[in-house]
Structure 1
């Protein structure tokens, strides 16, 4: 009589599976650690350089900790009289612009997520077409000018009011998260489309809303070219324009230096290097503050749009 052994192969299989999982987990942690180092080291280096002396930065002796700590660069940046005007304008442009972007993205994405919308396929094709082809810089400027939006805040808001990519991500989120049965139940109770969007869809979409707010807010905060192109009054300039002016004003004019001005030239060169790092930190602080609160929503929301789009 032949004896059949049972249990041992399954046990060996479980041990082997656990070993493979352990190796995979270690590999994931190693890759994540390397990615953290790649991202964190340049960031820490920029911050450390902004708090170090120009001599240490120029000679490349600054790593992740400041050398010869000083605040001279920040004193010069915040001593610029118009820097607070730039902060005020940028906060205003970012807050209002982000609000408009999110509202109109919702109004575009939600109807396109409804299966009962006729012609939504044609609308989506038109939207995708605009992602591949655009009028270009000169037609856009002529359009803004003909609409009498030059030197107004609307010139920064209207041309980029809706991002097609964000519309697609939000539309996909609505389709994959809001079940059709929920809409049918609401309609049976007499709920209108507007009430359903406000009372049901939006409360269940905090993830994607946080993602949209972050993406649009960063875009407005870093908006530099549009402001330089459409605004011509200094009192309306955003922070980025003022920071650019500070950096330009600290440039060294080599033609005006005499033989005895070498020491002064070196001092100004060191300050110019420090200014670059300080300006990066100054312009990035609000984003650093906001990102930790929404980063978990950012990962979840963007992955939903990318995998199921």
Structure 2
């Protein structure tokens, strides 16, 4: 890469540091690059060297930090509030129905314990999203370092999540239709039991759909701050990350780069995968290095 290309790329990267997808960032870069090239051409025609022309062209474009605010993606907390509300509603409904069924001898103690175990499994995600919501309100007053740019192309994780979500959606449809078809044939003394069972499974399916949607990398807006990384459902302080590594895969003829984080003990999960634009890999490496986080080949 020539000095000119390197200088222009750094300028464009600074301008796009608050953009969350590689595709949008590339559109912005292409548009600005056309303007920069035209300015460089004008200055070189006036007798300036390529380096001088590049410097003057970038000065004419303006301060990249100032320009970046105009392209900044707006991240709303409404999705977090909606997700938290859904989780709490369906978890509360599930718990209430289970306790009611147990008190009325419809469910056994084993049914109660199994349902409570399922409830406990969802708690880290609920509390994590609430924590991310509160932290987001605090961090909104601060300037982020940059937004981690993701891809529209799905990685293996998203490829698995999509049919899984559709499985649960179709299961809900067949479950409700089956219940309505058999409703007239259900004896009155078993109606409550059958209804509770149906509502119980329905709640589990809906909670699973919400969870998979929440964890989907495509839905993430990962923002890097001085204190750590803010994701949709959690805030990850730098001192909670013990190591990281880069992974690569191919999807629809395109290389998908992801960073895999390994967390220290005491967390609800030990690893996390975040898709990262190839243009930001060096930038991410610099941030992790500045926070004394080890880069590994294997985790």
TM bucket (normalised to shorter chain) is under 0.3
Q: Which of the pair is proportionally richer in helix?
A: 1
TM-score normalized by the length of structure 1: 0.26
Q: Which of the pair is proportionally richer in strand?
A: 2
TM-score normalized by the length of structure 2: 0.27
- Structure with the bigger RCO (C-alpha within 8 Å, sep 6+) is 1
